[in-house]
Structure 1
Amino acid sequence: MHQAPVVRLVLLTLLLVTAASGSTQPVIVLDAADGVQTVGTYTAFFRTPDELSIEEVIALDSSGAFHRLNQAAPNFAATSDIVWLRFTVRKVSPLPFYLHLSSAFLDRIELYQIGESGPRLLRRTGDDLPFAERDLQVPSFLLLLDQRVEETRTYYLSVRSDQPLFFSLRTGTPKAYFEDLHTQDFLQGVYFGFMLLIFLYNFLIYVSLRERVYLYYGFYLLSITLFMSFVFQYLFQYFWPNFPQLNRYAVATAGLTIISAVLFSREFLSTLTNAPRFHRLSRFFLGLGGLIIILVVVQVPLLALMLSQAGILLLALFLFVLGVVLYRRGFSPAKYYLIAWGVLILGFVAAMLESLNVLPVSPHLNSLQIGSALEVTLLSFALADRINTYKRDRIQAQREALHAAQTAHALVAQQKEILEERVEERTRQLHETLRLVEIEREKSDHLLLSILPNDIAAELKERGYAEPRFFRSVSVMFMDIVQFSSLTRGLPARELVDRLDDIFNCIDDIVSTHSLEKIKTIGDAYMAAGGIPNPDDGHAVQIVVAAQKILECVAQFPPDSRGNCWQMRIGIHTGPVVAGVVGKNKFAYDIWGETVNLASRMEVNSAPGRINVSEATFNYIQDHFACTFRGQVEARNIGLVGMYFVEPGSNGSPVCRF
């Protein structure tokens, strides 16, 4: 009996609210010609910690509780409040129109339409409900605005979330939305594809080298990718669409990210030995990551979110400072590491400023994605630089050689097109062009063969890249000129270059004669290897014989203009290496591994005019050479290593017995 007056009162209130809002709040016009339009500034908002009915909200609206929203993308930061939005819509096109909420992390959404008979619930959705219950199967939320053409309606939208509450609010037809979402899907595909590619690449390196740093790095990449998959609800859409309760564990991946970042950084920077104090402090962040995961499991999401935001930013700053400290101490791989964490810090700061409503929200890629993609790229560089810590590359190949070949092929194609149009007139010019192309091709082939092994050069030409290879047994030789700095101080530049040229030409000839591979020269140092790129069981003997002849060759040079005789010292070690072509603008064939490091230590611990070999090399050559055991000698950053001098013969050079 009392319901009719109540309904009339509600309708009267709605009319008053609509009339009052119409004088201060613009009306959203649904016109297909406008495409997708952002409508945040067309709304008014009200936030409350309490559960209210639509009738109570309308009553509060009539009393002036709602305020005009001045943001294109509503942003209420991290809050447990329920936010109500009110907007008025006039439809002028017959097509269906949808309201788009871009955030995937909205726990509960309710859309009410004010009609002649009172408020009507149009849609209730959110990531707390199964994915299949959405109007359109997309990661974000599309809500149908159900009204007739030339009809004006007022809507109330209720939104709540345990995550930071910010989202784009737009209207448009399904066609316009999907055209816009195509750009987002493309960018997201590029991002996730890139992250998975880097993960698989480092996992394969771990399988090959069994170094934990690559395992931890893969763990770190996987945790970031999982976090972003949660954020954009790809996991919800494709893996558990009927279990929305799993979305509550998204913040747990932030805890995993903190743990994996600490494990990777400790292994990469060797903090246990290089920075023990920082190593101990890093345990705090391991505990923080575990605490975040526990809070998510026991359903304290808001606290877990706040701890993860603060923890990730503090961790990034902590690791940035750690990188600065180690870089200043001379740990060169910290350079890329330092830049990587600096970029990630900027991404975190930008993402937090977005969530705090300081920066506008990006519609397609968030700042954290951009920062993380740049960071993993730079960390990949840091891993590569770590492999090359104990050597300095002198890039010898030029990228222009390959570019010249490509240009030549393009020129051939262009000349062929001209030939089709003016075949009789341009025959002579075409033949001349083809001759020049052949000359350029021969030059580029010759240049490539002069800086790379034949097999590697052929593979590079055929496939555009050279596959890295693992060699189980390779002999690596380092040699340098004794007291080079003091010998060359004050020596005329021409004489210095001529003397080095004579010595290195002699070494080049000997290396080539004994089927060895020249790797590089660094100043007065020369590096060569036996057993690559073609395996050879006799590589250890051949490299020692070559070392003998090198000492003989250098000893035959007359004193320089200052009366000084030049001597070499040589170190050799045998073991496994990884070989491949590196470089972006110029190519270089190089080898990596602990074997290279130990061979360098053999040379450092050698003596003028002597050949110092490791115990591993001695085991290969002991039946062919007289050697003297030097004992266990301390090698920097390695420890005690058994070393042998190859004894010289009667002519002063080491003796070889076959």
Structure 2
Amino acid sequence: QVEWTARLDFLWNVQANEEKREMHDLESSNRRILFNLLPAHVATHFLDNQFRNNMELYHQSYSRVGVMFASIPNFHEFYMELDGNNQGVECLRLLNEIIAEFDQLLDGEQFKAIDKIKTTGSTYMAAIGLMPEARIADDHESGASYMTTMAELVFTMKDCLADINENSYNNFMLRVGLNIGPVVAGVIGARKPQYDIWGNTVNVSSRMDSTGLPNHTQVTEEVYQLLRDGPYVFQCRGKVKVKGKGEMTTYFLVDRKAAPGGGQHHQAPTGTGANPNQP
């Protein structure tokens, strides 16, 4: 009887340990999924014990966030052409490669303060100033510093896309809009939670993209004032009609200023064949 009880205890212990391992593996898997779905600081919020049973909507207001929309305006015609030749899958593979390359840029030390928000079709949305350790203060220096990081991301994305063009024999062009201002961030959805940001700042940034020109980065007056004394060349576009805002004075972030010794980091955007004063 004693031996039988000892065997049962042993089997129960084995089963209990196995169930503990399975629960630990499941918890680790769930954590990985959550951190893939949400920014780290938001995922941590939901994993914190004191919030686990809190079903209230997660939201956070920010007084100053830099927002970027970056589109590939000629990707649609590329897709239509390939899809007509039954090569739509190849088109999606290439788009996935482009987005994955952009994602990888944000893993680097230089751009660690930038959060990817989402992609919609061939439009890539990112923001800076959302992380608790990387908030944008109300002073000029803080805004200029963080928006410089965002501007450098734009130039790096253009370089990245140029490399992809060279390897795939394409001519994709990046069209970018930048803005800075207050936003509200939050998580919507239960089964498939999605982190997003809302507000006038986001809408105007999107309009800076959609009313821009291929191979150009259009920025608002607020962004221009922060970066005008920095290492960049700007061109005033003039008044642009922006839906819901009327006419706005906007600027093109054309290039980096010449490096000491007369070198130039980037060529000014060319080849669009469009009048920069026309939306």
- TM normalised by structure 1 equals 0.34
Offset of residue 521 of structure 1: 0.5
Structure 1 residue 651, shift from structure 2 partner: 4.9
Letter in 2 for 1:522: T
CA-CA distance at 1:629 after TM superposition: 1.0
1:511 aligns with one of 106, 128, 144: 106
Match of 2:223 in 1: 617
Q: 1:261-317: CA deviations, max 9, x gaps?
A: xxxxxxxxxxxxxxxxxxxxxxxxxxxxxxxxxxxxxxxxxxxxxxxxxxxxxxxxx
Q: Which residue of 1 aligns with 2:246?
A: 639
1:554 matched to which residue of 2? 161
Choose from 61, 64, 68 the match for 1:477: 68
Spell out the pairing of 1:5-404 with structure 2 (5 A cutoff).
none
Does the 8 Å contact 1:647/1:654 carry over to 2? Answer: yes
Q: Which residue identity lines up with residue 505 of structure 1 in the other structure?
A: A
Contact 1:552 1:653 in 2 (8 A): no
Cα separation, 2, equivalents of 1:533 and 1:470: 12
* Distance in 2 separating the partners of 1:459 and 1:443: 17
Mapped to 2, the partners of 1:580 and 1:609 lie a distance apart of 32
SS of match in other structure, 1:565: coil
Q: Which residue number corresponds to residue 394 of structure 1?
A: none
CA contact (8 A) 1:474 1:539 kept: no
Match of 2:208 in 1: 602
Q: Which amino acid aligns with 1:475?
A: G
2:137 equivalent to 1:539:
no
- CA 1:527–1:608 in structure 2 vs 1: closer, same or farther (change >3 Å)? same
Provide Cα deviations, 1:435-465, integer angstroms capped at 9, x if missing partner: 1111111111011111212221111122035
> Per the alignment, in what secondary structure is the counterpart of residue 548 of structure 1?
helix
2:18 to 432, 442, 449: 432
Task: Report how many aligned residue pairs link the two structures.
Answer: 233
The correspondence for 1:454, drawn from 40, 44, 51, is: 40
Q: Name the CA distance, whole Å, in 1 between partners of 2:244 and 2:73.
A: 22
Per-residue Cα deviation, 1:633-657 (whole angstroms, up to 9, x for no partner): 11122211111111125354569xx
2:40 is equivalent to residue 445 of structure 1: no
Which residue in the other structure is 2:275 paired with? none
Q: Corresponding residue for 2:177?
A: 571
Q: Which residue matches 2:79? A: 488
Shift of 1:484: 2.0
Instruction: Kindly provide the CA deviation profile for residues 85-108 of structure 1, in whole angstroms up to 9, marking residues without a partner as x.
Output: xxxxxxxxxxxxxxxxxxxxxxxx
User: What is the distance in 1 between the residues matched to 2:61 and 2:265?
Assistant: 39
Task: Report the AA paired with residue 498 of structure 1.
Answer: R
Question: Structure 1 counterpart of 2:98, which letter?
Answer: I
Given the superposition, is the C-alpha separation of residues 639 and 575 from structure 1 closer, same or farther in structure 2, using an over 3 Å criterion? same
Tell me if the contact between 1:548 and 1:654 (Cα under 8 Å) persists in the aligned partners.
Answer: no
How many angstroms apart in 2 are the aligned matches of 1:621 and 1:509? 25
- Establish whether residue 499 from structure 1 lines up as the match of residue 78 from structure 2: no
- Give the drift of 1:602: 0.3
The structure richer in strand per residue is 2
1:614·1:643 contact (CA, 8 Å) conserved in 2? yes
Q: Measured at CA, do residues 533 and 602 of structure 1 come closer, stay the same or move farther in structure 2, by a change above 3 Å?
A: same
Question: What residue identity is the alignment partner of 1:487?
Answer: F
User: Which of 522, 525, 540 is matched with 2:120 structurally?
Assistant: 522
Secondary structure in structure 2 of the residue aligned to 1:426: helix
Verify the 8 A CA contact 1:646 1:654 in the aligned structure 2: no
CA distance 1:653–1:578, change in 2 (3 Å): farther
Question: What amino acid maps onto 2:29 in structure 1?
Answer: K
Indicate the larger mover: 523-532 or 642-651. Answer: 642-651
| C-alpha distance in 2 between matches for 1:654 and 1:427 | 69
Tell which has more relative contact order, 1 or 2 (C-alpha 8 A, sep 6+).
2
Identical aligned pairs, as a percentage? Answer: 27
Instruction: State the AA in 1 paired with 2:173.
Output: Q
Q: Quick one: which of 197, 209, 218 aligns to 1:591?
A: 197
Identify the structure with the greater helix proportion: 1
CA radius of gyration, larger in: 1
Q: Distance in 2 between matches of 1:593 and 1:617?
A: 17
Distance 1:430 1:615 in 2: 63
Name the SS of the counterpart of 2:164 in structure 1.
coil
Cα contact 1:516–1:529 (8 A) shared by 2:
yes
- What is the distance in 1 between the residues matched to 2:203 and 2:247? 14
Aligned-residue offset at 1:497? 2.0
Partner amino acid, structure 1, of 2:62: F
What is the distance in 2 between the residues matched to 1:653 and 1:594? 32
Counterparts of 1:533 and 1:653 in 2: how far apart (Å)?
33
Aligned equivalents of 1:653, 1:439: Cα separation in 2: 51
1:500-542 superposed Cα distances (whole Å, 9 cap, x missing partner): 1221112112233312000001111110001113314332111
**Letter of the structure 2 residue corresponding to residue 529 of structure 1:** A
Please report how far the alpha carbon of residue 605 of structure 1 lies from its aligned counterpart in structure 2 after TM superposition. Answer: 1.7
Secondary structure in 2 matching 1:571: strand
CA RMSD between the two structures: 2.0
Q: SS of 2:11's equivalent? A: coil
Distance, in Å, in 2 between the alignment partners of 1:508 and 1:559 is 20
Gaps of 5+ in 1: 1-421
C-alpha displacement of 1:429: 1.5
Q: Does 1:629 align with 2:236?
A: yes
Partner secondary structure for residue 9 of structure 2? coil
Structure 2 vs 1, CA of residues 653 and 570 (structure 1 numbering), >3 Å: closer, same or farther?
farther
For 1:546 and 1:653, locate their aligned partners in 2 and report how far apart those are by CA, in whole Å.
Answer: 16
| In structure 2, C-alpha distance between the alignment counterparts of 1:516 and 1:555, rounded to whole Å | 22
